[in-house]
Structure 1
Amino acid sequence: MPEPTEQEIRERAHKLWEQAGKPEGRDEEFWRAAEQELRNEDESNTLRTPDTL
């Protein structure tokens, strides 16, 4: 799977930041968390295989 784009990371980080109550000075923390979440989603999607009969 391709790496998450900067825009995808930015959007996820913003969402996480809002959910955390918009704390100041933690932008890098939310960026890394968003990047990791998106990578984990990609990994879990590649682990799933369709059921075949």
Structure 2
Amino acid sequence: MEQESSVDEQIRTRAYYLWQQAPEPKGTPEQYWEQARDEIEKEAPPVESGPVSGDTMK
């Protein structure tokens, strides 16, 4: 849960920055939230899903 709130905080901060930088008229909060979430997800490192079959490390 700690990591989730950290991601939410990153999204909130990014969305606010996007809103500040936007020209008038401003869009909806949801638009900035979605754009920020998409940007954060693209920057996130891939999540490891476990050992890969055929692992060559011995």
Task: Say what the alpha-carbon RMSD is for the aligned residues.
Answer: 2.1
User: 2:11 maps to which residue?
Assistant: 9
Give the aligned length.
42
State percent identity of aligned pairs.
36
Q: Rg: which structure is higher? A: 2
Q: What residue ranges of structure 1 are gaps of 5+ in the alignment?
A: 47-53
Normalized against structure 1, the TM-score is what?
A: 0.64
Report which of the two has the higher share of helix.
1
Which of structure 1's runs of 4+ aligned residues deviate more than 2 A? none
User: 2:22 maps to which residue?
Assistant: 20
Normalized against structure 2, the TM-score is what?
A: 0.59
CA distance in 2 between counterparts of 1:19 and 1:30 reads 11
Q: What residue ranges of structure 2 are gaps of 5+ in the alignment?
A: 47-58
Higher relative contact order, structure no. (Cα contacts within 8 Å, ≥ 6 residues apart)? 1
